[in-house]
Amino acid sequence: MKSTLPTSVDVLVVGAGPAGLTASTVLHSRGVHHLTVDRAPLGTNTSRAAVVHARTLEVLDDIGIADTLVERGVVVPTFTVRDHDRVLVTIGFDDLPTRFPYTLMVPQNITEAVLADHLRTQGGSITPGWRLDRIDLDTDPGRVHADLVDEDGRRSTIAARYLIAADGMHSTARELVGIPFQGAAYPQSFVLADVRMDWSLPADEVQLFFSPAGLVVVAPLPGGHHRVVATVDDAPEHPDLADITDLLSTRGPRSNPTHVHEVAWSSRFRVHHRLAATYRHGPVLLAGDAAHVHSPAGGQGMNIGIQDAALLANLIADVTTGDAPDQSLDAYEERRRPIARGVVRLTDRMTRAATLHGPATRVRNLALRTAGALPPVRHALAMNLSELNTGERQTHAPATRRSPRRATSEPGQHR
Ligand SMILES: Cc1cc2nc3c(=O)[nH]c(=O)nc-3n(C[C@H](O)[C@H](O)[C@H](O)COP(=O)(O)OP(=O)(O)OC[C@H]3O[C@@H](n4cnc5c(N)ncnc54)[C@H](O)[C@@H]3O)c2cc1C
CATH class of 8-74+100-182+273-355+390-401: alpha beta
What pLDDT, on the 0 to 100 scale, is given for residue 46?
65
Atom of ligand 1 nearest to the CA of 171: 38
What pLDDT, on the 0 to 100 scale, is given for residue 43?
67
| Mean pLDDT score, 245-269 | 92
Residue 413 has pLDDT above 50, yes or no: no
Ligand 1 centroid distance, CA of 184 (Å):
18
Q: Where is pLDDT greater, at 161 or 2?
A: 161
What pLDDT, on the 0 to 100 scale, is given for residue 41?
80
Question: Which tens digit of pLDDT belongs to each residue from 18-28?
Answer: 999 999 999 99
Mean pLDDT of the chain: 89
Ligand 1 atom 29 nearest Cα: 17
Ligand 1 atom 6 nearest Cα: 49
Cβ–ligand 1 distance for 37 under 6 Å, the answer yes
Ligand 1 centroid distance, CA of 289 (Å):
6
Per-residue pLDDT band for 410 (boundaries 50, 70, 90) equals very low
What pLDDT, on the 0 to 100 scale, is given for residue 266?
93
Cβ–ligand 1 distance for 172 under 6 Å, the answer yes
Ligand 1 centroid distance, CA of 304 (Å):
12
Residue 4 has pLDDT above 90, yes or no: no
3-state secondary structure 47-113: CCCCEECHHHHHHHHHHCCHHHHHHHCEEECEEEEEECCEEEEEEECCCCCCCCCCEEECCHHHHHH
Cβ–ligand 1 distance for 128 under 6 Å, the answer no
Per-residue pLDDT band for 400 (boundaries 50, 70, 90) equals very low
Nearest partner of 267 among 236, 293, 232, judged by Cα: 236
Ligand 1 centroid distance, CA of 353 (Å):
26
Residue 173 has pLDDT above 80, yes or no: yes
- Whole-model pTM: value is 0.92
Cβ–ligand 1 distance for 83 under 6 Å, the answer no
Cβ–ligand 1 distance for 239 under 6 Å, the answer no
Q: Which of 112-121, 339-348, 406-415 is most confident?
A: 112-121
What pLDDT, on the 0 to 100 scale, is given for residue 2?
61
What pLDDT, on the 0 to 100 scale, is given for residue 414?
32
What pLDDT, on the 0 to 100 scale, is given for residue 336?
96
Cβ–ligand 1 distance for 73 under 6 Å, the answer no
Per-residue pLDDT band for 64 (boundaries 50, 70, 90) equals very high
What pLDDT, on the 0 to 100 scale, is given for residue 27?
98
| Mean pLDDT score, 155-171 | 97
Ligand 1 centroid distance, CA of 250 (Å):
30
| Mean pLDDT score, 370-390 | 88
What pLDDT, on the 0 to 100 scale, is given for residue 227?
95
Cβ–ligand 1 distance for 273 under 6 Å, the answer no
| Mean pLDDT score, 379-408 | 61
Cβ–ligand 1 distance for 399 under 6 Å, the answer no
Give the whole-angstrom CA distance, residue 87 versus residue 85: 7
What pLDDT, on the 0 to 100 scale, is given for residue 74?
97
Per-residue pLDDT band for 186 (boundaries 50, 70, 90) equals confident
Sign of the C-alpha dihedral computed for residues 273, 279, 284 and 287 taken in this order: positive
| Mean pLDDT score, 73-85 | 94
Atom of ligand 1 nearest to the CA of 18: 25
What pLDDT, on the 0 to 100 scale, is given for residue 415?
35
Per-residue pLDDT band for 45 (boundaries 50, 70, 90) equals low
Give the whole-angstrom CA distance, residue 333 versus residue 39: 26
Ligand 1 centroid distance, CA of 325 (Å):
31
What pLDDT, on the 0 to 100 scale, is given for residue 25?
98
Cβ–ligand 1 distance for 167 under 6 Å, the answer yes
What pLDDT, on the 0 to 100 scale, is given for residue 365?
83
- For a pocket test of ligand 1, which of 5, 35, 167, 191 has the largest count of ligand atoms closer than 8 A to its C-beta? 167
Rg (CA), the chain: 22
Residue 274 has pLDDT above 70, yes or no: yes
Check if the beta carbon of residue 130 is closer than 8 Å to that of residue 77. Answer: no
Residue 276 has pLDDT above 90, yes or no: yes
